[in-house]
Amino acid sequence: MKHTAFAAISAIALTAAGVAVAEPQAEVLHWWTSGGEAKSVAVLQKEFADNGGTWTDMPVAGGGGDAAMTALRARVLSGNAPTAVQLKGPAIQEWYEEGVLADISSVAEAEGWADVLPEQIAEHMKCEGAWCAAPVNVHRVDWIWANKDVLEANGIEMPTTWDEFNAAAEKLQAAGIIPLAHGGQAWQDATVFETVVLGLGGPEFFQQALVDLDPEALTSDTMVAVFDQMRTLRGYVDDNFSGRDWNLATAMVMNGEAAFQIMGDWAKGEFLAAGKVPGEDFLCGSTPGEGFLYNVDSFAMFDVKGDDKKAGQDLLAELIVGPSFQEVFNLNKGSIPVRTDVALDKFDDCAHLSSEDMTASAEGGALLPSYAHGMALRGAQAGAITDVVTAHFNSDMSSADAVQMLADGVANSM
């Protein structure tokens, strides 16, 4: 209360002193608190300050964003939403339906976002046609990472089909190497699952099953085959995988204990941080099959009162999509710029591959949202699918039972 009074008085004082333009204010709620991520946010903070804005940082760590969402809920219910919140995928529309998001179309149109963002990704940033969020980066989820020395020593190429992968895995297992480094956490099981769905079913099937939730696709023979492949993959994972964090799995690939890991391109950050060089120490490739699964981080803009806050919101949106921030941020984070017109000279080979595949997939209709990372479905539906995937992967459930549970679970989550 005291604070508000103080702010009000200083605002009056400033007006009296003849400051005509409201000073941009932004309170930003995010959960980028670990090493590389914190560095990336600091970049945005600095740019914001350089443009005359006042940034109020509101980092809420913990639970992969769960803690931040709880804080957000409390703030929204008390009628005091932050200016911008790290939100992604259908969660943006979910909050829009609660009637608390702002319209930033004026900035988006002035900056020509529609021309520089891939169409599929731009759709996620719109609420009933109006822009309500600003995209930050594109993470690719369907990556397979490999230890180059291990592959060469065993005469294995990067697999391009799941059959090739299985054959390679058998060979590695015979040589006493763990074929697949994996951490037994539900979201990691889901990550592997969706790459198998994409690989075995193709982009069209992925769309039907994990985006449109078509019951026929969910119970189809293709889905049974996907669960069969998951069971096969379970055999390529070491016995001690339960509860392992993803970065520990990445370390297993790094030190040659394991050959492959299926994980989004944040894993590249781990390799680079350990001083490994792409193409020399480790290899990156898309998981078997065609298509591109994206995981786009973004900031949703909440409805705030006061010219200074609105000005801050507009400035923030402009900077986030601006080319300079896109480059610096993504170099720090391991992802690629969401703008297609940013030069990639400073980026590594994996990022180039990612960018080329994104452009090609966007044209072929194979640019798809990741379900495991909350881009394709709302929390309740995605959670219902993950429950089945992880229950199947961690037990001896048959594929037929899993498919039935999948259809029932999805129906029950509506």
Partner 1 sequence: MARWFETHLPKIVLAPSFIAVLIFVYGFIGWTAWVSLTRSKLLPKYEIVGFIQYDRLFASPRWDTAMTNLYIFGGMFIVISMVLGLILAILLDQQIRVEGAIRTIYLYPMALSMIVTGTAWKWILNPGLGVQAMVQGWGFENFKFDWLVNPDMAIYTIVLAAIWQSSGFVMALFLAGLRSVDTEIIRAAQIDGIPTWRVYTAIIIPSMAPIFLSAFIVLAHLAIKSFDLVIALTGGGPGYATDLPATYMYAMAFSRGDVGQAASSAMIMMLVIFIIVVPYLYSELRAKND
The secondary structure element, H or E, covering residue 299 is strand 292-301
Smallest gap, in angstroms, from Cβ of residue 9 to partner 1? 34
Nearest C-alpha neighbor of 75 from the set 95, 47, 54? 95
Over its C-alpha atoms, the chain yields an Rg (Å, rounded) of 23
Residue pair 126/132 in contact (Cβ under 8 Å)? The answer is yes
Smallest gap, in angstroms, from Cβ of residue 239 to partner 1? 6
Q: Which C-beta is closer to partner 1: that of 108 or that of 304? A: 304
Smallest gap, in angstroms, from Cβ of residue 349 to partner 1? 34
Residue 184 is classified by DSSP as B
Q: Per residue in 21-60, is it b (16+ CB within 10 Å) or e — as a string?
A: ebebbbbbbbbbeeebbeebbebbeebbeeeebebeebeb
- SS3 state of residue 62: coil
Question: How do strand 178-180 and strand 130-131 relate by DSSP bridges?
Answer: unpaired
Q: Which C-beta is closer to partner 1: that of 351 or that of 377? A: 377
Smallest gap, in angstroms, from Cβ of residue 63 to partner 1? 7
Smallest gap, in angstroms, from Cβ of residue 385 to partner 1? 11
Q: Which C-beta is closer to partner 1: that of 239 or that of 345? A: 239
Smallest gap, in angstroms, from Cβ of residue 198 to partner 1? 22
Tokens for 196? 């198998």
Q: Which C-beta is closer to partner 1: that of 91 or that of 168? A: 91
Q: Which C-beta is closer to partner 1: that of 281 or that of 387? A: 387
Smallest gap, in angstroms, from Cβ of residue 240 to partner 1? 4
The CA–CA distances, whole Å, from 64 to 30, 86, 106, 186 equal 11, 12, 32, 13
Q: Give the interface with partner 1 as residue ranges (CB under 8 A).
A: 63, 66, 69-70, 73, 76-77, 91, 94-95, 98, 184-186, 189, 239-243, 378-380, 382-383, 387, 390-395, 405, 408-409, 412-413
Q: Which C-beta is closer to partner 1: that of 129 or that of 243? A: 243
C-alpha span between 373 and 15 (Å, rounded): 46
- SS3 state of residue 131: strand
Q: Which C-beta is closer to partner 1: that of 39 or that of 378? A: 378
- Please identify which residue in the block is written with the tokens 């009074």: 5
Q: Which C-beta is closer to partner 1: that of 109 or that of 245? A: 245
Q: Which C-beta is closer to partner 1: that of 108 or that of 258? A: 258
**Burial of 152 (C-beta count, 10 Å sphere; 0-12/13-18/19+):** exposed
Smallest gap, in angstroms, from Cβ of residue 413 to partner 1? 8
Smallest gap, in angstroms, from Cβ of residue 94 to partner 1? 5
The CA–CA distances, whole Å, from 297 to 27, 175, 321, 379 equal 18, 40, 12, 16
Smallest gap, in angstroms, from Cβ of residue 380 to partner 1? 5
CB count within 10 Å of CB 73 equals 12
Nearest C-alpha neighbor of 281 from the set 250, 248, 249, 254? 254
Nearest C-alpha neighbor of 91 from the set 102, 81, 101, 82? 101
Q: Which C-beta is closer to partner 1: that of 244 or that of 310? A: 244
